[in-house]
Amino acid sequence: MKTHFKTGAAALLMVLLGASHAQAQNLKPGQYEYTTKTEMFGMSIPISFKQCVTEKDVASNKAYVNQQGVEGCTPPDVKRNGSEITIKYTCTKPRMTGEGKGSISGDTFSMDMRVIQHEMGDSVVKTALTAKRIGDCAP
């Protein structure tokens, strides 16, 4: 179970990193601080990191999605409707499906994800992701 937990958590994080980029379509370029809180198996796992979003990233929807996916995962299917965003993906190693909904503004975004890990008795993993612009990118 520990191996599936680690593999599932790693795959989920990689897809979410791709998802976080997908949300950034209309963000103002700059340095962003991303914060995630994942709840699984009665545990809460917080992760924070900073990342530069460039004008080129903002101009291309594909730049925000992890196009290569994670081994065994499809690239996220991202759809926009105004300031709302949805995402869906599937993975075969480990077997899981995920979907999320979020909102975007000029310098922030947020998303709530729900992932079902099929190899672990259809256990549900919930992740809340937020990002906030904290300034310009370092030169």
> Could you list the pLDDT tens digit for every one of the 139 residues in the chain?
444 444 455 455 445 554 444 433 467 888 888 888 999 888 999 999 888 878 877 666 443 444 445 678 877 787 878 788 888 888 888 888 989 898 888 888 888 999 898 888 888 999 898 889 999 988 7
8 Å CB contact between 104 and 27: yes
Question: With contact defined as beta carbons under 8 Å apart, do 117 and 94 qualify?
Answer: yes
Q: What tokens appear for 14 in the block?
A: 């990689």
End-to-end CA separation in angstroms for the chain:
44
- The model's pTM is 0.69
All structural domains of the chain, each given as residue ranges with its CATH number in brackets, are 2-135 (2.40.160)
Give the SS3 label for residue 43: strand
